[in-house]
Amino acid sequence: MSRGLIEIGNLNVELTPRPIAPSWIIEGKPAASACTLSQSADGTATTIVWYCTEGKFNWYYDFDETILILEGSIVLENENLGPTRYGPGAVIFFKDGAHAKWHVEGHVKKLAFCRKTQPVWLGFAIRVIGKIKRMFIPAAGQKAARLMGAS
């Protein structure tokens, strides 16, 4: 197993300030900080630990984001969702283009999996190419297993 293809992270990392846009803040002085744990080679997927102090603010998503609440609690709402409280263990998915009003109660710490969306046709083309590759070019691990079995 190549360790270069596997990244190991930890949730206890040093966070750096990532201020919320002042125009998004509704109430209070929420202070956000974060640390990027990993990023895909093509830059379209990122894993982040994010922390925020108490306050209310808007958040506008320009990528898909799945979050896992680790600590604290939030109340989310938007035009389709009345105020709903979420705490540790809650998993929430925000699609590219979503908008939510966040009310952080005390503080919140989340693990976020962010992915920039691609046009549907591009995703389809990538899956087709991947399938063709797997059909005609054996994976290194499969090739090594066959070689070991032949000796």
If 0-12 CB within 10 Å is exposed, 13-18 middle and 19+ buried, where does residue 2 land? exposed
Residue ranges per domain, the chain?
11-115, 120-150
Q: How confident is the model at residue 2 (pLDDT cuts 50, 70, 90)?
A: very low
The CATH superfamily label for domain 11-115 reads Jelly Rolls (2.60.120.10)
**Token pair for residue 125?**
């083309």
Q: For residue 1, what pLDDT is reported?
A: 37
Q: Please give the pLDDT value at position 146.
A: 53
38 backbone dihedrals φ, ψ, rounded to 5°: -155, 160
Task: Report pLDDT digits (tens) over 56-112.
Answer: 999 999 999 999 999 999 999 999 999 999 999 999 999 999 999 999 999 999 999
